[in-house]
Structure 1
C-alpha cells in the first residue's frame, strides 16, 4: 500500500486475494480495531481493511476532523490507489454515513464500491436535530452510557475520560452537523442493518436508505439497541459474507426485509 493508505487503513489479517474486499468504517468515538472480530471471522475468504480516523490510537497526535465531508474527502483520497480492485463498504453508526459519502465520491469518479452495508444509522435523507456535541462533559458521558457501546470501566478512570471526551465530542459534532450535498442515489446495492430498539435509527429511518440507491436493497432488523452488532456479530458477519458471495456469483437478490432475533 502507498504511505497515505498505510496511514488510513489497518489490515489485521492477510486475507485471500478474493474478487471483493471489505472496507470497514468505525462509529463515533470508535477506532479501527472495532472491526478486528469481523476481520478475524472473514480472514479465510475476504481481505478486510478497517479505517483509522485521525486522533485515535496510533493516530492520537493528529488533529481531529469534525466535518463528515472533509473526513470523507481525506478517506477518498487515501483510498483511490486501492480502487484498482473491487471493494464493498461496511459502516456502523457515524461510519455508515462516512462510508456513504466516500462511496458517493467513488461513484462520481466512476469507480463505485460493489456494495454498501449501512449499520445502526438512519438514511442521510432522514434528518434529526441533535445537539449532544454541545452538552457539557457529564451530558456527553450520559449519552455514551445510554448507548451501551463503551466499556463502563472507562468512565471510572478520569484520565481515560479526559482522553476520549474531545474525540467523542468532535465525532458527534461531525455527524450532528452533517447534511448530504447531493440527492443523487448511489449505483451500488445497499444493505441496511438496525437494532429494533435503536434510539438513533428507527426501522422507518433505516428503510429510507432504499431511496439512496438505484441498485438492490435489503433491510435486516435485529433485537437490541444501537450496538445490537455486539450481540449479533456472527449473524451480521454471515449477512456480509453471504451478500458478498452472492454478488460475486451474480445472484444477489436484494429487495428483502429480514427480521433476525
Structure 2
C-alpha cells in the first residue's frame, strides 16, 4: 500500500504527533471499492440474461476482448453483480423462507485487486444472501462459494429478486473508526489527536457505499466483536430495504484468515 498521500495529509493538518500518526497509518487496510456501473448487457457477463442456454456468470474465453474489464479505465473492473439470480445447486432458505441474493462477486477480480489480502478462493464466485426481513441470527445470511460454470438457479416461489446491476471495482484503502478497539490505547492517551488524524485522512480515503474487506463502519447492529467485514452494501434500486440503509457480511477474524465461510453473520445500519 502506498501510504505517502495519507502521511502527507496528516502532516499538512498539523498538530498530530508523529508516533500517533504512524500508529493510525499502520491500521489502514486494503479494500476494494464497488459501485454500480452502466455497461452493455451483450458484453457484460455479469448481467443475468434471460437465455437459459448462456451462463452469465462465466467469462468468455475470447482473447480478443476481456469482458471482465470495462473499456473506460475510470469505470474499473467488473467484479460481479448487485442482485440478479444465483448460480449453484440450490437457493438457500432461513426458517422456511428463501433468502435474497444481494451480490455475486467475482473472486478472480477481487484476488487480482487485493493480492495477499484476499484469503478466500481465487476463482469462482461468492454468492451473498440475506434475509429480506433483516433478521440477524445464525443462518439469516449465507455466503456461498461456487465454481465458474455453475448453472443459473431459478427463483423459487416467494423469493425476492433484485434487478441485476453490474458492479465496477477499484482498489482502495479503508480507515478504522474512532472507536475501533485497536485504537483504544491511543484514545486513552490522546483522543483529540486520534480524531484529528482520522479527520485529516477522510478526504484522502473517501467513503465507499459498497466495499469488500477493509474496516467495518460504526453504527451497525448488532454490535459484534472480533469480526472483519467481507462485504458492505448500501441499498440500490430494487432492494426496498426501508429503514435499513446498509448491510455488512462479517466473519470472525480467524475465519477470514482461514478462508472459512460457514460462520458468516450479517449486521445492519438503519437510518
TM-score tier by shorter-chain length is: under 0.3
Relative contact order, CA 8 A, sep 6+: which one is greater? 2
* TM-score, normalised via structure 1 length: 0.27
Instruction: Judging by fraction of residues, say which structure has more helix.
Output: 1
* Structure of larger gyration radius: 2
Instruction: Judging by fraction of residues, say which structure has more strand.
Output: 2
* TM-score, normalised via structure 2 length: 0.26
